[in-house]
Amino acid sequence: MKADAIKLDGGSAGSVDLDETIFGLEPRTDILHRVVRWQRARAQQGTHSTLGRSEVSYSTKKIYRQKGTGGARHGSKGAPIFRHGGTYKGPTPRSHDHELTKKFRKLGLKHALSAKLKAGELVVIETAETEGKTSALAKQVASLGWKRALVIDGAQVNEGFAQAARNIANLDVLPSMGANVYDILRSDTLVLTKAAVEALEARLK
């Protein structure tokens, strides 16, 4: 399938061929959901922790005698029923990561790209190059109507473009190997350079 390409100044830059097996799929939300859950689980720190009854700082001396007090029989002030006592079966540090096959992750990326194209939120540009002036790039982005945009370049991101985009709110830049389902879906506009299209097709075939 063909897609029109533009320049950063809005001028035409011809067209580019998009592989239908990557950009022409019918997006499935169940596949996208599974891949996004996998990504967010990997990003979760899992450092949540609470103190159990053996870890709270209290004396191990028996509180009072076993019998004859008229009250319940207790042995430790660190028991969960007491104020400042240990937590019963509270969270402990762990990894939230779970398995997802490489084949399925590739499929998820294909469906994310197809979803953006189907929604009319995919733009192909000739190159992502600039002189490194943030103000100039900000004007170009505003004139093109990009609000929350993700720009994916080829194997390497142009240094001047990355420097200019660094201080522009809601404009993210990634190399082709950094393309992922979560960042693609959360952007309002997905911008691919011609080099990115070639790199993604080579990666996902």
5-31 average pLDDT score: 93
Q: Residue 23: is its pLDDT beyond 90?
A: yes
97-124 average pLDDT score: 97
Q: Which regions of 55-148 does DSSP assign to beta strands (E)? A: 122-125
Provide the 10 A C-beta neighbour count for residue 86: 18
Q: Residue 108: is its pLDDT beyond 90?
A: yes
Write down the pLDDT at residue 48.
Answer: 95
24-53 average pLDDT score: 96
- Within 8 A by CB and 6+ apart from 54, the residues are 78, 86
As assigned by CATH, the class of the 2-45+97-204 domain is alpha beta
84-104 average pLDDT score: 95
Q: Residue 1: is its pLDDT beyond 90?
A: no
**Measured between alpha carbons, how far is 59 from 79 in angstroms, rounded to an integer?**
12
Domain ranges of the chain: 2-45+97-204, 50-90
pLDDT digits (tens, 9 = 90+) for 42-79: 999 999 999 999 999 988 889 999 999 999 999 999 99
How confident is residue 130, by pLDDT bands cut at 50, 70 and 90?
confident
86-112 average pLDDT score: 96
**Measured between alpha carbons, how far is 189 from 151 in angstroms, rounded to an integer?**
9
- Select from 96, 87, 115, 3 the least CA-distant residue to 41: 96
Global pTM reads 0.84
Write down the pLDDT at residue 9.
Answer: 87
**Amino acid at residue number 158:** N
Write down the pLDDT at residue 124.
Answer: 96
116-134 average pLDDT score: 92
How confident is residue 93, by pLDDT bands cut at 50, 70 and 90?
very high
CB 172 within 8 A of CB 199: no
Q: What is the mean pLDDT of the chain?
A: 94
In Å, what is the CA distance from 96 to each residue of 41, 67, 116, 178, 182?
5, 46, 29, 21, 17
Helix (H/G/I), strand (E/B), else coil: 190:
strand
